[in-house]
Structure 1
Amino acid sequence: MRIALFFALILFHFSSISQSTDERAIREVLAQQVECWNEGDLECFMEGYWKSEQLVFIGSKGLTYGWQQTLDNYKKRYPDKSAMGILSFELIIVEPLSEDFWTVIGKWNLKLNSDNPNGHFSLIFRRLGDEWVIVSDHSS
């Protein structure tokens, strides 16, 4: 009985270490996105997304499928650094759904010269090899 308890505690310990490592990696992806956005670099910002036609982005104009189409939409809406403004995220929930999927819910804020739009987002991250990428983004 003591041996079983000992191994259960060891397993729990390593499980929590892995979770915190995964969470840090996901938070780093989001921090990198903010940095890229604020530098006016949409291609860099998009590195946080899954480079696949299966990427799903849900926004005010409906569904967009695919990494390239999502990038093209961003470029149309934000053609240059001045149009992009300064982005910030406030993360509310960052939690695992399974070993290879996490969800992130938060708020986004954009500081522009004439306006300060803001809203919420819900992201699904997927582990692909050693990387965490956004496979689904619902932003409003």
Structure 2
Amino acid sequence: MRSLPLFILSFFIVQHALAQDKDEQTIRKVLSDQTVAWNKGNIEDFMKGYWNNDSLMFIGKSGVTYGYQNTLMNYKKNYNSADAMGTLSFDLIKVQRLSPEYYFVVGKWHLIRKIGDVGGHYNLLFRKVNGTWVIVADHSS
């Protein structure tokens, strides 16, 4: 009988780890899907990784932008051609669960472009909203 509580505890630990792994895999897929969309020149599909809400926060070289629509318009203004968009790649440095509802992601971004390569670092706050992992805050530099 002593092994039953240990079995139950082990079961819940394994289930929690599997859920965490599934969430991390989903977040990694969001970033992968964004890369594919960007490299196809499709900013609208790239934006599907972001929270479609006025509270979305994007922090870049020009300061803070609030809202999905404003972030989309900034992307379209700053990356208005295939030459400006180039080819995107992400290198993940850290993917950390903060809670069942939040993940913190740190990485590097790089654009290979005919007009000159650019890159930098980013940190993202992912939140599970209505069962879907989305970026609610993005600080890219």
TM-score category by the smaller chain? Answer: over 0.9
Q: In structure 2, give the amino acid aligned to 1:22.
A: D
Q: How does 1:1-140 map to 2 (within 5 A)?
A: 1-140=2-141
Q: Is the 8 A contact 2:108 2:122 kept in 1?
A: yes
Mapped to 2, the partners of 1:133 and 1:81 lie a distance apart of 26
Mapped to 2, the partners of 1:87 and 1:93 lie a distance apart of 19
Mapped to 2, the partners of 1:99 and 1:23 lie a distance apart of 11
Return the TM-score normalized by structure 1.
0.96
Unaligned ranges ≥5, structure 2: none
1:1-29 CA deviation, whole Å, 9 max, x = no partner? 53322211111100011011001100000
Q: Percent identity?
A: 46
Mapped to 2, the partners of 1:69 and 1:117 lie a distance apart of 22
Unaligned ranges ≥5, structure 1: none
Q: Is the 8 A contact 2:84 2:115 kept in 1?
A: no
Q: In structure 2, give the amino acid aligned to 1:11.
A: F
- How many pairs does the alignment contain? 140
SS in 2 for 1:132: strand
> Pairwise CA RMSD of aligned residues?
0.9
Return the TM-score normalized by structure 2.
0.96
Q: Is the 8 A contact 2:54 2:68 kept in 1?
A: yes
SS in 2 for 1:133: strand
